[in-house]
Structures are given as C-alpha cells and as structure tokens.
Amino acid sequence: MSTALIRALAGLAAAVILLPTSASAEQWVHRDAKGDVVKRTGWWKSGKEAITVAPKDTSADIRRTRITHGPSRLHVSMRVEDLVVTRERLSVLQIRTPEGRNFRVEQYKGPGASWFTLKRGRFGIPVRCGGKTQSFDTTTDIIRMAFPLRCLDNPGWIRVAVQFATDMQNRRTFTERYDDALRAGTRKLIYRPLLSRRIHRSRHQRGGAD
C-alpha cells in the first residue's frame, strides 16, 4: 500500500449529525452531500503535490454512514455512490472513548492483499481481538465492518470520525480520491481530525450494519 495514501488518511474526521441524543441513544445516520470528493495528485520524480476537487468522481463519494453502538458490538456501514474495483480501497475509523483512549480502525483491499486492523494510541499499537467482520460489496455499494466492544474496552460512549479513499498509481504519478463521510463540501482538512459528538452504548441491540 502506498505511504501517500496512509498519510492522506492519517487524521481526517468530521462533525456529525446524531439521531436521538439521550443516554439511551445507540445509532446515528448521516447522509453526506453528493459530489464532494477531493483528489490529491503527486508526482514521484519531483515530489510535488496538488489537491483539487473531483465533483464527478463517484468511486470514493460516500453518501450515507450508519453506526450502531450496541450492547456488545459496534456496527459501521458506508454506502458509496459507485463502489467500483480500483487499485486500492481504504476505510478508516478514528474512535475516542470516555477514558481518553484513541483507536484507529483500517479496512483495506488492494491487489493481492487485504486487512482489517484495530490499533490503539498515537503509536498505533495493534489490538489483538477476535470476532471482527468486514466486507466491500460492489453489488450494493456498501462497505461494512463490525467488531466486539471488548476490543475498545467496552466504552459507555464513543466519538467517531470516518473516511474512505481510493488510490491509483502509474510510473509518473499517484492519485488519491477521498471523502470525509460526515462533512459536506470539498474544503476538507486532511491532517486536522474532528470527532463526532458522543454516541452512547445501548442496552438492546437493534439492527445490524445496514
């Protein structure tokens, strides 16, 4: 995987719209604007970069994000406008818990490789935790991931940032297209993450990821 794609996803997040905000709230859904993908192009030889908007790009354009903070599992789904097969695809969650702990979830699929990892803290210490599930469904254009809350030390609430990106490379350039799943518009800050309001853990599990 290109180091450029990892850098581009290192910190982006956003403010979100929550569904019920009482202590029993367990799920939020955010519908993102259409045509708000940002394109980052770099030239291998010179090291120069350019960031532009790509309103007609649909391969990275997230339209809806749904997170369910259930009693025992966290479910996340993102619907992309057109989830086509590209060179690389990467979904990133950044999660903060009441104890001030920070987690980073990466869901990656590329040529001959894929992973779904959970890391803790600023140094990215891997968290060993079974029971994780994930998928990139090009039929429904939906990305899904889920894992036990024990992976996050069973928090009472979480704050979340979400992003999705695709990557294409050739001999001269690399091009990344990415979307902040929860912020409308194309004036996006790559390296300054913003977190959602608190999403409380529920006592009763409702539906799954989507």
Give the Cα separation of 48 and 127 in Å (integer).
35
CB 127 within 8 A of CB 104: no
pLDDT of 27 > 80? The answer is yes
The pLDDT tens digits of the residues spanning 50-65 come to 888 888 989 999 999 9
Give the Cα separation of 173 and 10 in Å (integer).
20
Q: What is the largest CA-CA distance in the chain?
A: 55
pLDDT of residue 52: 86
Tokens of 22: 């009482």
pLDDT of residue 181: 83
pLDDT of residue 25: 38
The pLDDT tens digits of the residues spanning 143-201 come to 999 999 999 999 999 989 899 999 877 778 888 888 888 776 665 555 555 677 889 98
